[in-house]
Amino acid sequence: MPEHRGTFAPNRNEVAAKVIDGELIIIRLSDGTYYSMDNVGTQVWELLERGHALPAVIATLAAWYGVAADRVERDAAALVDELLAERLVVAAGAGGGGEEGARPADLLAYDAPRLNVYRDMGNLLALDPPTPGIDDLPLKGDKGR
Amino acid sequence: MSDGPPHVVAMRRAFDEALARCPGEVRETRYAFAGRAVHLRVVGARLAERIQRPFAHLRRDRAAVGAEPLRIDLWDEHETGVASPADAAPGALDHEWLACDGTLSASADGRYVSFTYQDSVTLLDRQGQRMIGGRRSGSHLSRGECSKPFVVMLTVWYSDLRVQILHAGLLAHDGVGVLLPGESGTGKSTTSLAGVAHGLEFLGDDFVGCERRDDGTFHGHSIFSTACLARSGLDRFGDIRAHAVEDRFPEEEKPILFLAEVFPERLRATAPIGAIVLLRVGAERTKVRPATRPEALRQLAASTLHTVVPRPGRAALEMMGALVAQVPAYRLHLGTDLRDVPGGIAEVVAQARRRGSP
Amino acid sequence: MNARTLYHSEAGLGITRHFMRVLYWTDWYLPSIGGVEVFSARLLPALVRHGHQITVVAGHHRTGLPDVTARDGVDVHRFWFHLALAANDVDRISELLAAVAALTRRVAPDLIHLNTLGPSVLFHLESSRRSGAPVLLTMHSPVPDDAARTDTLCGRALRSASWVNCNSHAVRRDLCRLLPELADRSSVTYYGMDPPALAPAPRPRAAPRILGFGRLVTDKGFDVAVRAFATVVRRLPSARLVLAGEGAARPELERLASALGLAESVEFVGAVAPEDVPALLDRASLVVVPSRWDEPFGLVALEAALMARPVVATRVGGLVEVVENGTTGVVVDPDDPDALAGAMLVLLEDPATADRLGRAARARAEARFGWDRCVAEYAGLYERSRNIGGQNA
């Protein structure tokens, strides 16, 4: 397992991500794999994005939710491992800071963050295109030009 | 030639018939579309006038030597008394799809594609390099046909030449093309018009061609010289407003500007693409910031995939990916003063040059 | 008459009918044409008449249609799901997610009825979690290979459904083999179709015509039918094979027919509109469905049965549930031209038996695959979902 002390940043070259209403959608652009997270998972992502090292993220979440730090540590470390394995984040070195932001007002009960993975989006899109595409009009044989 | 599906044979016959009936009404003009020779023949003087207008800046007076031109043959049904063939109805070719409130059809081998919309039918023979179309009347042409004639069939033709149609504006400053991707309503049209009004060159407002040359560089091609702007937006361009064509169109629709008539010396056929600009309007003052590749690709791909028919395929998506990889992207924050536009674009070009692009 | 009126008038009679708010997901809806679209367009107005309030969530197929339309008492909300996904436009996708979540909150469905395992399932999965409503998933097509995986949209949709109904026992068996946990929350609902207005004429005997219709693609096995027909025509020179439909395999099929010397006796008539199918069947002596892939159901065989035509079919998928060997038709192994030829000859040389099978096929189709029965089964599934509770993880 990699060292969980440093900072981890979203892998900007490969990934498009957006948070809306506490839900996070991630697309790995290289192969069109889709991911989603909500609640705690989204908060981990946002805190990492702001440059906080993982121990600081854990401490913040433990404080926000009022749960034991070692429980949060287990969950967060497992999540970061998964994010690394999927190349959604990269290790960004030590240190880092920035505002952690105020405790969000409408927190739900703590639940282990889960990364939802959807590897079949590309296949499904290929099966049923919406408007006719130029690829639906292949010109067979010599174009005569 | 009498071979081909019945629909195709019938369209050829109908045009020949129109030609025979009204020889005095034939207007022939030649063009270069993305550098390829095109020969337009229209039977019906009024129709010819209307169809030629958006392509005026691409006129070539002499026939090009070398490759066979694309022949576009249109006729005015009312003027000539020749109706579009009955079996040009949707379903006449092998496959069909609904698109843009019209019907796109194709033969099984892909050689013939056809688009039927309201009062027009256009057929493209991709192997024979010929487009044939009937229009109900030159006096009552639909708004789409006035600003972007046979755009769906042209999209197929350009695509066959590996010129991908992008939904973006294209301006040029000092010979360098600046691509403006984005949906309508992002301020793209206002920005383009402001740019041209203050000295930049214009290649397109919302549909432009993009070609990758053998040396790996990207070139933008002008397709139409028209621009459309909502009335409220147009009001900011006092002297240009008078040129807008809107008399026949319903209240909600946007007037059309034929820019080759307003700024004849500022229309350009081709430019190397040196920068991509994502617009952000409503800023305090004009500023230029770098934009990321994923941002640029998202804006370009999303609006292109939403709007261009037939929808661009894998080749176009790959080209867009390669384009954003090679050409730098910037966010141009614009204030309310339209006179800042050319300066903003010039700044983008300067920054792009410093990074080492054309 | 709206749902509330129905409720009150029946309440007056002492009948309690509970109407439900249903959010109905489908990739496409009318005017897009396809199997699920046509099925949905017939089913939903019928369920509205049962008193339910149905909101459809679908993708935009054709530009120019408004985002929200009402049709036959059903509100249809269209979203640009597929273009946003195809462009990997994460901003647009987030907006769509928020819009779907807002619609789900407004509708406050008692039941979510999912009719797709297509790309828009992403939006269902992400929005339905918060709603807590039970999810009924209808399988209209074969079970995907990655159904058992937890890292796919299909896999997650199947696992999280409260109930899954399939259009044949074959599909349900496949499903439960891959996901045994679905064994006690799945069932079968056959498609329904009523007899056409055209009363079937007696089958042509003197110049027998064998009909195959459907997409002309390799999976449908029409090449096997052409090879089998070569044997048939040697014994019965006046026989003809008619292939109706279009597809990528047509040129090969035409070449095959030619190579076998059958250019004169095999006829390709091209695509046939759905409303012209009864007349097409009327002119046939028997129908051949030689598929080599696992047909989930076999609508073609059902249409043939309703016109009292015996069917020679292959032993694949759910097709054997529509064609009963020896009772309503003959079933043979796939990819076996000799067996197919044998079956076709039996029916052509013994018209009395063929007539008997055709009549039995029609009777069975009316008894087992009627449209009203199909609607009643869905109404029952909706009713039952009240007791199922929320989704599974």
Is pLDDT above 60 for C177? Answer: yes
Q: B94 vs B18, B98, B312, B351, C102, CA distance in Å?
A: 27, 14, 21, 51, 42
Residues B198 and B282 in one domain: yes
Residues B205 and B344 in one domain: yes
Q: How far apart are CA A120 and CA C202, in angstroms?
A: 50
Residues C220 and C188 in one domain: no
Cβ C119–A125 below 8 Å, yes or no? yes
Query: Cis omega (within 30 of 0) on the bond before C31?
Result: yes
Residues B30 and B53 in one domain: yes
Which residue has tokens 């034991």?
A68
Quick check: is C220 in a domain? yes
Interface chains of chain C (3 or more CB pairs under 8 Å): A, B
Minimum mean pLDDT among B307-321, C162-176, C312-326: which range? B307-321
Residues C26 and C11 in one domain: yes
Q: What's the pLDDT at C312?
A: 98
Report the first-to-last Cα separation within chain B, whole angstroms. 47
Three-class SS state of C392? coil
Quick check: is A143 in a domain? no
Residues B13 and B129 in one domain: yes
Residues C379 and C302 in one domain: no
**Residues on chain B touching A129 (C-beta within 8 angstroms):** 311
Quick check: is C105 in a domain? yes
Q: C213 vs B77, B109, C251, CA distance in Å?
A: 39, 21, 16
Cβ atoms of C86 and A131 within 8 Å: the answer is: no
Residues B155 and B172 in one domain: no
Domain span at residue B142?
6-160
Is pLDDT above 80 for B233? Answer: no
Quick check: is A56 in a domain? yes
Q: Which two tokens stand for residue B186?
A: 């992002």
Quick check: is A140 in a domain? no
**pLDDT digits over C32-69, tens only?**
656 788 889 889 999 999 899 999 999 876 444 567 88
Listed in sequence order, the residues at least 6 apart from B314 whose beta carbon sits closer than 8 Å to its beta carbon are: A135
Cβ B99–A132 below 8 Å, yes or no? yes
Phi, psi (5° rounding) for residue C211? -115, 135
Quick check: is B1 in a domain? no
Residues B329 and B194 in one domain: yes
Residues C147 and C223 in one domain: no
Domains in chain C, number: 2
Residues C155 and C282 in one domain: no
Residue at a domain's end among B98, B131, B160: B160
Domain span at residue A116?
8-123
Domains in chain B, number: 2
C112 pLDDT band, cuts 50/70/90, is very high
Sign of the Cα pseudo-torsion (C238, C241, C244, C246, in order): negative
In terms of DSSP H, where are the helices of B1-117? Answer: 6-21, 45-52, 77-80
Cβ B294–A141 below 8 Å, yes or no? no
- Which A residues in the span 19-48 are in contact with B, Cβ-Cβ below 8 Å? 29
- Which C residues in the span 118-147 are in contact with A, Cβ-Cβ below 8 Å? 118-119, 121-122, 125-126, 129, 144, 146
Q: What pTM, to 2 d.p., does this model score?
A: 0.64
Residues B124 and B195 in one domain: no
Cβ B306–C62 below 8 Å, yes or no? no
Is pLDDT above 80 for B201? Answer: yes
Domain span at residue C91?
3-192+371-385
CATH number of the structural domain spanning residue C93: 3.40.50.2000
Residues C67 and C30 in one domain: yes
In terms of DSSP H, where are the helices of chain A? Answer: 40-49, 54-65, 69-85, 121-127
More confident residue, B7 or C348: C348
Domains in chain A, number: 1
CATH number of the structural domain spanning residue B212: 3.40.50.300
Cβ A120–C144 below 8 Å, yes or no? yes
Quick check: is A62 in a domain? yes
Q: What's the pLDDT at C39?
A: 87
Q: What's the pLDDT at B248?
A: 57
Quick check: is A23 in a domain? yes
Residues C257 and C316 in one domain: yes
CB-nearest partner of B156 from A16, A137, A141: A137
Q: What's the pLDDT at B235?
A: 74
More confident residue, C357 or C386: C357
Quick check: is A131 in a domain? no
The dihedral over CA atoms of C96, A106, A113, C151, expressed in degrees to the nearest 10, equals -20
**pLDDT digits over B105-143, tens only?**
888 888 999 998 766 889 999 999 999 999 988 988 888
Model ipTM? 0.78
Residues C344 and C375 in one domain: no
B183-197, B333-347, C220-234: which has the highest mean pLDDT?
C220-234
Residues C125 and C149 in one domain: yes
Q: What's the pLDDT at B185?
A: 57
CB-nearest partner of A134 from B292, B294, B313: B313
Quick check: is C200 in a domain? no
Listed in sequence order, the residues at least 6 apart from C211 whose beta carbon sits closer than 8 Å to its beta carbon are: C241, C242, C243, C244, C280, C281, C283, C284, C286, C287, C288, C304, C309
Residues B21 and B128 in one domain: yes
- What does the DSSP assignment read for C191-258? ---PPPSSPPPPPP-SS-EEEEES--SGGG-HHHHHHHHHHHHHH-TT-EEEEE---TTHHHHHHHHH
Rg, C-alpha atoms of chain C: 23
Cβ atoms of C109 and C21 within 8 Å: the answer is: yes
Quick check: is C392 in a domain? no
- What does the DSSP assignment read for C1-63? --HHHHHHHHHHTT------EEEEE-S--TTS-SHHHHHHHHHHHHHHHTT-EEEEEEE--ST
Q: Which two tokens stand for residue C300?
A: 């073609």
